[in-house]
C-alpha cells in the first residue's frame, strides 16, 4: 500500500492542459478576441465603474465622430473603443486559460450507470445522475466511480489521472483517512462500496469546472475595496473635468466634448481598472496549475494575508516513517554483534522501520540485505500491542527488538541481566527526539542485551530554509504533533519552526486556532481526516488533502489534488503574489497618470495661459497630437501589462516594508518614466497625420 502511494509518478501534462500553464502566449490574445467583443455589452461594463466611464465616453465621441467627423475626432473615438476592448481582452485571456482547463475536465465527466445497493442487499442499475446523497454503490475493477463519496467497504487501487494528472494509481480504503473517492475516476483493481456524498451537478469535477471557467468567482473583500476606491477617484476626476469647462468658456477657449472625454479617460485609473479582474482570475488560475481547488477567490486572498501557519509534523515537516539512523552497543557487545542481531530480527519485518534497519546494516556494516539459505528457516515473531516487540526464532537462537521495558522483561524472564547503560542510552535518545528500540538475544540458555537502535523521524531537507523564508514574510509557523513534548521540542528545533503543539487532540487544534485569531491574525492549516474537519472549518485557510475524507474536503476552503501537505507553503506564496501583483499594478497605474497630466493639461490651455508651455516637458508638437498620443498610450499600456497581470509579479520572501520600497522603486518610478517616453515616441508619429500636426 505504501509503495503505491509513494512511488514516483509522471505528470501527464499533455492530458491535463497544463503544459506551460503559467506562460503567456501572444496567440492567446487572438483566440480571446471574440469573448472581448462580447464583453462590450453595457450590462457587463456596469460591473466595472472605471471602464463603464470609458465606455460612456467612447459612446459620446462616436456620436460626434458621426455628426461632425474629423480625423482627430475619429482617431480619438477609435482609440477610446480600443481602451475598452483591451480591458475586456485582459479579462477574456485570463478566463480563456481557465476555459481550456475546464474543457479538459469536462471531457473527464462520463455518463455512468451506477450499481446501487438496495436495502435488502440486491443491486439495481441506475443512471449516475439519479444518485442521491447517502446512496451506496458498488464499483469493481475497470468501472468508473459514478460520484463523489467515501469508501465504506473494501480496498482498491484507483486511477485519478483524469482529475489530478498523476498517472500513478492510489489506494482508497474504508475506515481511514484515505477513504474519499472522486466521481469520474476509475477503479483498477478489487471491489469497493462507495457512499455517495454529493448531489448531481455538485460533484468535485463540477465545482472545479465552475471555478476555472470563472463562473463561480466572486470579488474578494480587498478587490471590492479597491474597486470602491477606483470608483471614488473616477467620480472626483469626472467632477474636476466638468469644472474645467466653465473656466475654459470664461477664458474664451471652450473645449469640445471629445477633448473632455479624452481628458477624463486619461486622468482616471484606467490601467488598474482594466486589469483588476484579470489579476484576480489569474490568481485562481495559478492555484489550479498547482492542482489546488479553491472554493473562492476570498480563500486565495486570505492565503496572502496569513500570519500563522499550522503544519502537521508527520508527512509535512518530517518524512513520516521513522528511520534507523544509529546503532549503539551496550555491555560487552560490539557494534558488529548489534548489527547482526538487528538485521536478523528485521529481515521479515515489512514495516518502514524494519526495512530501514536492514538498509542501515547493509549500508554501514556491509551485511547482506536479504536472508541467506540458513536464515530462511527462521520463524518471524510479529509485533503486537501486548508484547510491544518483534523478532525471530532460529533454532535455539532468539532475537527480539522493541520497547525498552518489554525487552528488559523478556531478558530477565530468561535469567539475563540488563546493563545499566541501557537505560541511560534509551533516555538520551528519547530526550533528543528519537525513538529507542532495544535489541536482545537469547542463545545457549543465556539472554543478554546487544544494544539500542536509534529511530529518528527525519526532517525533510530544506524545511529549515523554507521556515526561515516564512519568518521573513512575518508568518509564524507552528508544528502540530501527537508526540510527547520532549520529542516534539527536539524535532521543532531541528526543523526551525517558531512553536509547537505536542500531544495534540482535535479540540487542542481548535483552541490554538481561536487563540491566534483573537489577535486579529489569519490562520492556515492542512488536514485530511474527519477529526481535522472542525479545525479546517475554523481556520481562515483550510487545505484539505484529496486523499482525505469528504468531511475534511467540505470543511476546508481548498483541496489539494496532489495531497501534498507541504503545498500549504506554496499556497501562501501564491496568495501573497496575488496581493503584490495587485498592489504593484495599482502603484504603476496611479504613477502613470502623472505623465498624462503633463501631456494633456498644457495642451488644453497653452493657448490661453502661455506660462503652461513650460509644462510641455515632452515637447509635444500640438495640442491635438498631445491629446491623441496620451489616449493611444493609455490603450496600449493595458495590452503591454496583460502578460504581467496573468503571470504575476515575481515574489521574493521579504518584509512588508521591503516590498513597499520595491514597489515604489520599480513600479512607481516605472509608472512615471514609461509614459513620458511612450507618449513622446507616439507623438513623433501622429504629429505627421493630417488634421493633427
What superfamily would CATH give domain 319-458?
A: Calcium-transporting ATPase, cytoplasmic domain N (3.40.1110.10)
On whether 349 is known to bind a ligand per the annotation, the reply is: yes
Kindly report the pTM of this predicted structure.
Answer: 0.67
What pLDDT is attached to residue 636?
A: 93
Please enumerate in sequence order all residues whose Cβ is within 8 A of that of 681, keeping only pairs 6 or more positions apart, or say none: none
Mean model confidence pLDDT for the chain: 81
Q: Known binder of ligand: residue 353?
A: yes
C-alpha to C-alpha distance for 45 and 83, rounded to whole angstroms = 13
Kindly state the helix (H) or strand (E) to which residue 181 belongs, with its residue range.
strand 180-181
15 part of the active site = no
- Please, are residues 236 and 264 in contact by the beta-carbon 8 Å criterion? no
Q: Please give the pLDDT value at position 108.
A: 55
**Per-residue pLDDT band at 74 (split at 50, 70, 90):** very high
What's the rounded mean pLDDT across residues 553-560?
A: 83
State the average pLDDT over residues 61-71: 92
Q: How high is the pLDDT of residue 493?
A: 86
pLDDT in tens, 107-143: 555 567 888 888 888 888 888 777 888 889 999 888 8
Question: Is residue 387 within 8 Å of residue 342, measured between CB atoms?
Answer: no
Measured in degrees and rounded to the nearest 5, phi and psi for residue 550 equal -60, -35
Q: Is the predicted pLDDT of residue 470 greater than 70, yes or no? A: yes
Residue 619 reports pLDDT greater than 90: no
> How many CA atoms within 13 Å lie on the side-chain side of 313?
31
Report whether pLDDT(165) > 60.
no
Question: Which of residues 284 and 631 earns the better pLDDT score?
Answer: 631
Dist. CA 186–CA 143, nearest whole Å:
6
Residues contacting 267, CB < 8 A, separation 6+: 237, 240, 241, 593, 596, 597, 600
CA distance 543 to 484: 25
- pLDDT surpassing 60 at residue 258: yes
pLDDT at 668 over 60: yes
What was the pLDDT predicted at 65?
93
State yes or no: pLDDT of 609 exceeds 70: no
Catalytically annotated residue among 135, 312, 494, 560: 312
- d(C-alpha 95, C-alpha 116), whole Å: 38
593 is in an annotated binding site: no
Confidence tier at 451 by pLDDT (50, 70, 90): very high
Q: Which residue has the cell 475626432?
A: 73
User: Is 532 assigned to a binding site?
Assistant: yes
In SS3 terms, 300-315 reads as HHHHHCCCEEEEECEC
**pLDDT attached to residue 13:** 36
Q: Tell me if 390 is assigned to a ligand binding site.
A: yes
User: Which of 200-204, 372-376, 657-661, 677-681 has the highest mean predicted lDDT (pLDDT)?
Assistant: 677-681
- How does 459-469 read in b/e, with b if 16+ C-beta sit within 10 Å? beeebeebbee
Is CATH 3.40.50.1000 the right assignment for the domain spanning 292-317+460-561?
yes
Q: How high is the pLDDT of residue 7?
A: 32
Domain covering 113-146+148-197 in this structure, CATH number: 2.70.150.10
User: Pick the residue with more confidence: 385 or 559?
Assistant: 559
Please tell me which of 193-202, 438-447, 456-465, 603-612 the model is most confident about, judged by mean pLDDT.
438-447
Lookup: cell for 200: 448531481
Q: Give the pLDDT of residue 632.
A: 93
Smallest CA-to-CA distance from 421 within 410, 413, 429 is with 429
pLDDT reported for residue 212: 59
Annotated ligand binding at 384? The verdict is: yes
Reported as a single tens digit per residue, the pLDDT across 262-273 is 888 888 889 998
Q: Is 499 annotated as a binding residue?
A: no
Parse the chain into domains and list their residue ranges.
45-97+212-287+573-687, 113-146+148-197, 292-317+460-561, 319-458
Residue 2 binned pLDDT confidence (cut-offs 50, 70, 90): very low
Q: Is the dihedral of CA 353, 359, 363, 366 positive or negative?
A: positive
Q: Is 480 helix (H, G, I), strand (E, B) or coil?
A: strand
190 is an annotated ligand-binding site residue? no
- What pLDDT, on the 0 to 100 scale, is given for residue 14? 36
Instruction: Classify 85 as helix, strand or coil.
Output: helix
More confidently predicted of 569 and 177: 569
- Whether the per-residue pLDDT at 167 is higher than 60: the answer is no
Residue 526, pLDDT > 50, answer yes
Query: At 335, is the pLDDT very low, low, confident or very high (cuts 50, 70, 90)?
Result: very high
Is the pLDDT at 635 greater than 70, yes or no? Answer: yes
177 among annotated binding-site residues? no
| Mean pLDDT value of segment 293-319 | 79
Q: Is the pLDDT of residue 237 over 80?
A: yes
pLDDT of 205: 66
Q: Is 385 annotated as a binding residue?
A: yes
Residue 60: the pLDDT is 93
DSSP 615: G
Question: Which SS3 state, helix, strand or coil, does residue 445 take?
Answer: coil
Q: Is 401 annotated as a binding residue?
A: yes
Among residues 325, 321, 345, 323, the alpha carbon closest in space to that of 449 is found at 345
Confidence class for position 10, pLDDT limits 50, 70, 90: very low
**Does residue 208 have a pLDDT over 50?**
yes
Give the mean pLDDT of 438-462: 87
Which residues, other chains included, contact 94 with Cβ-Cβ below 8 Å and sequence gap of 6+? 214, 277, 278, 281, 282, 285, 645, 646
The pLDDT, as a whole number, for residue 16 is 35
pLDDT (0 to 100) of residue 452: 94
Amino acid at each position: 500500500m505504501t509503495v503505491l502511494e509513494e512511488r514516483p509518478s509522471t505528470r501527464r501534462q499533455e492530458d491535463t492542459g497544463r503544459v506551460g500553464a503559467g506562460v503567456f502566449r501572444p496567440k492567446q490574445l487572438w483566440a480571446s478576441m471574440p469573448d472581448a467583443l462580447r464583453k462590450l455589452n453595457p450590462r457587463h461594463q456596469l460591473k466595472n465603474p472605471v471602464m463603464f466611464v470609458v465606455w460612456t465616453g467612447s459612446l459620446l465621441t462616436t456620436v460626434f465622430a458621426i455628426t461632425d467627423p474629423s480625423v482627430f475626432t475619429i482617431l480619438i473615438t477609435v482609440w477610446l473603443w480600443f481602451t475598452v476592448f483591451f480591458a475586456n481582452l485582459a479579462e477574456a485571456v485570463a478566463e480563456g486559460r481557465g476555459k481550456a482547463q475546464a474543457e479538459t475536465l469536462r471531457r473527464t465527466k462520463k455518463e455512468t450507470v451506477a450499481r446501487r445497493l438496495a436495502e435488502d442487499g440486491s443491486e439495481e442499475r441506475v443512471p449516475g445522475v439519479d444518485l442521491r446523497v447517502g446512496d451506496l454503490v458498488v464499483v469493481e475493477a475497470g468501472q468508473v466511480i459514478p460520484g463523489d463519496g467515501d469508501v465504506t467497504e473494501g480496498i482498491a487501487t484507483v486511477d485519478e489521472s483524469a482529475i489530478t494528472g498523476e498517472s500513478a494509481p492510489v489506494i482508497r480504503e474504508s475506515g481511514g483517512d484515505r477513504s474519499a473517492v472522486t466521481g469520474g475516476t476509475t477503479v483498477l483493481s478489487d471491489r469497493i462500496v462507495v457512499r455517495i456524498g454529493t448531489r448531481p451537478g455538485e460533484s468535485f469535477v463540477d465545482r472545479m469546472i465552475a471555478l476555472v471557467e470563472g463562473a463561480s468567482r466572486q470579488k474578494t473583500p480587498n478587490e471590492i475595496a479597491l474597486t470602491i476606491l477606483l470608483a471614488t477617484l473616477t467620480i472626483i476626476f469626472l467632477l474636476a473635468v466638468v469644472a474645467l469647462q466653465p473656466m475654459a468658456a470664461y477664458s474664451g477657449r471652450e473645449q469640445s466634448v471629445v477633448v473632455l472625454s479624452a481628458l477624463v479617460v486619461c486622468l482616471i485609473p484606467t490601467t488598474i481598472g482594466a486589469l483588476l479582474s484579470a489579476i484576480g482570475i489569474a490568481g485562481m488560475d495559478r492555484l489550479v496549475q498547482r492542482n489546488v481547488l479553491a472554493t473562492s477567490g476570498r480563500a486565495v486572498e486570505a492565503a496572502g494575508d496569513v500570519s500563522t501557519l499550522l503544519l502537521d509534523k508527520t508527512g509535512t515537516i518530517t518524512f513520516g516513517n521513522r528511520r534507523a539512523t544509529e546503532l549503539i552497543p551496550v555491555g560487552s557487545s560490539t557494534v558488529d554483534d548489534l548489527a547482526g542481531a538487528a538485521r536478523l530480527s528485521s529481515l521479515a519485518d515489512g514495516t518502514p522501520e524494519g526495512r530501514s534497519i536492514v538498509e542501515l546494516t547493509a549500508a554501514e556494516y556491509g551485511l547482506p540485505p536479504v536472508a541467506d539459505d540458513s536464515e530462511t528457516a527462521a520463524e518471524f515473531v510479529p509485533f503486537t500491542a501486548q508484547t510491544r516487540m518483534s523478532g525471530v526464532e532460529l533454532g535455539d537462537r532468539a532475537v527480539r527488538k522493541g520497547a525498552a521495558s518489554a525487552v528488559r522483561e523478556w531478558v530477565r524472564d530468561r535469567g539475563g541481566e540488563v546493563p545499566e547503560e541501557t537505560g541511560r542510552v534509551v533516555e538520551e535518545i528519547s530526550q533528543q527526539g528519537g525513538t529507542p528500540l532495544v535489541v536482545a538475544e537469547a542463545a545457549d540458555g543465556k539472554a543478554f542485551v546487544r544494544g539500542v537502535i536509534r529511530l529518528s523521524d527525519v526532517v525533510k531537507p530544506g524545511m529549515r530554509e523554507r521556515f526561515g523564508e516564512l519568518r521573513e514574510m512575518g508568518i509564524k509557523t507552528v508544528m502540530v504533533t501527537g508526540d510527547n513534548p520532549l520529542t516534539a521540542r527536539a524535532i521543532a528545533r531541528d526543523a526551525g519552526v517558531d512553536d509547537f503543539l505536542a500531544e495534540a487532540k482535535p479540540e487542542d487544534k481548535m483552541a490554538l486556532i481561536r487563540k491566534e485569531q483573537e489577535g486579529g491574525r489569519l490562520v492556515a492549516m492542512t488536514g485530511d481526516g474527519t477529526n481535522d474537519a472542525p479545525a479546517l472549518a475554523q481556520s481562515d485557510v483550510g487545505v484539505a488533502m484529496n486523499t482525505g475524507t469528504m468531511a475534511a474536503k467540505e470543511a476546508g476552503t481548498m483541496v489539494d489534488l496532489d495531497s501534498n501537505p507541504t503545498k500549504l507553503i506554496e499556497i501562501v506564496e501564491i496568495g501573497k503574489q496575488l496581493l503584490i501583483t495587485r498592489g504593484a499594478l495599482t502603484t504603476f497605474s496611479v504613477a502613470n497618470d502623472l505623465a498624462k497630466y503633463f501631456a494633456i493639461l498644457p495642451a488644453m490651455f497653452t493657448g490661453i495661459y502661455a506660462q503652461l508651455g513650460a509644462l510641455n516637458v515632452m515637447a509635444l508638437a500640438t495640442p491635438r497630437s498631445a491629446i491623441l498620443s496620451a489616449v493611444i498610450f493609455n490603450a496600449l499600456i493595458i495590452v503591454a501589462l496583460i502578460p504581467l497581470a496573468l503571470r504575476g509579479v515575481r515574489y521574493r520572501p521579504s518584509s512588508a516594508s521591503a516590498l513597499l520600497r520595491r514597489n515604489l522603486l520599480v513600479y512607481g518610478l516605472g509608472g512615471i518614466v514609461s509614459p513620458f517616453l511612450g507618449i513622446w515616441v507616439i507623438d513623433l508619429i501622429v504629429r505627421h497625420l493630417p488634421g493633427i500636426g
